[in-house]
Amino acid sequence: MKKNYKNMILFLVVIFLFPLQVFAYSNKVILGGESVGIHIETPGVMVIGFYPVNGEYVKGTPEIQIGDLIIKVNQTQVSSISDLTSVIEKEIMNNEIELIVNRDHEEKKIKMTLEKVDGIYKTGLYVKDSITGIGTLTYIDPETKVYGALGHEILESTTSEIVEVKTGRIFESTITSINKSSTGVAGAKNANFNYKNIYGNILTNGSHGIYGIYEADLNTKVIEIANPDEIKIGKASIYTVLDGQEKKEYEIEITSIKEYSDVKNVTFEITDKELIEKTGGVVQGMSGSPIVQNDKLIGAVTHVIVDNPLTGYGIFITTMLETGDKYAE
C-alpha cells in the first residue's frame, strides 16, 4: 500500500509540472474605435491582370498567373514597380527576361518574350507593389504597445490574395462621407489621409487582423477584457467614426455566439437609429470597430452580411489578443 501511495504522489507532481498555456497579454487595454489609414508595401510586385501588346497577350512558360508575386528579374531582386521597369531596361537580352515569382509560397521560373512599343518594353502585365485603405483600430496593449485592427486579413481586391507585408504603417484618417449599404451592396467609408501623422508600423497581415507597434501618444484610459463565456445575447455597443475624427458609441444587439468559429464568433444586428440613418448598416472601413458589452471589450466588427447589411459578424477580442501577443517585445 505504501508503494502505491508513493507512485500516486509522484504522478500528481508530474502533472503539476505541465501547466496549461498562458498568454501574456494584459486583461486591460486601451479601447480603439479611431479610423486609421493603412498602407502596406509588398515584398515583390504582384500581378493583378493582363493587357494586350500589339493585339496579343504576352505569355510566359509556364504561364504567369494572377496573384503571382514577382521577386526577381534575371536573378536581380525587385521590390517595386520602379525596380521592375529599371531591371528590365538594363538586363533584357534578345527581348527575353526570366522572372522568379512566388506562387503559393513556392518559387517558380518563368521566361517571357517582350515587345518594344514606342521605345518601351511592354510586359503585358498589370502590377502593383503596395495597397492603401481604411480600417478601424480595435485596441492597444498599454504594456507592450502592440495594437490590433480590422479583425480580419487584407486581401488584394482584384486577385483576392492575402497581401504580404514587407513594410507597412497606419496613420491619421479623416472620414469625409459614407456610401450607404443596401440589400446586396456593402457601403463604405470615404476618407482623407494624412500620411505624415503616422500612428504605428504594420508587422503582419493575417486572418485575425493587422498588428504592429503603436508609436504615437497613448490614451491612458483602459477597458477590461471579457472572456468568451462572459458574452451574452442582448444589448451591446460598437465604437467607430462616421464623421471627421469623432469616435462615437452606437447600440447593437448580439443575436448569436459561436465559440468555436475562427473569426465569426458573434452575430449582431445594428439597432442604433443614428447609425442606420448614416450608413444603412455595416459598411467597409468599419472592420475593427470594438464591440463592448457590460463595460468590457468583447470583440471587433469583421464582416457585413450583404443580404441584410443591418447584421454583421464579430471576432472575440481574446482571439485578437492571442495573436497580437506574439509581437510583444
What three-state secondary structure class fits 242? coil
From the CB of residue 133, how many other CB atoms can be counted at a distance below 10 Å? Answer: 20
Residue with cell 481586391: 157
Check if the beta carbon of residue 47 is closer than 8 Å to that of residue 66.
Answer: yes
Q: Name the active-site residue from 173, 181, 287, 289.
A: 287
What is residue 270's DSSP assignment? E
What angle (nearest 5°) sits at the alpha carbon of residue 259, between those of residues 253 and 265? 50
Alpha-carbon span 70 to 49, nearest angstrom = 13
Residue type, 244: G
Angstrom CA distances, 173 to 32, 188, 211, stand at 14, 14, 17
Q: What sign does the CA torsion over 96, 127, 40, 208 have?
A: negative
Cell of 160: 483576392
Cell of 57: 497577350
Residue 152: active-site member? yes
Q: Name the active-site residue from 39, 86, 130, 272.
A: 272
Cell of 155: 486581401
Q: Name the active-site residue from 152, 173, 181, 289.
A: 152
Residue 287: active-site member? yes
Angstrom CA distances, 285 to 78, 98, 259, stand at 31, 39, 25
**Burial 214-229, CB ≥16 within 10 A → b, else e:** beeeeeeebbebbebe
- 136, β-bridge pairs: 35
Alpha-carbon span 245 to 173, nearest angstrom = 7
Catalytic site positions: 152, 272, 287
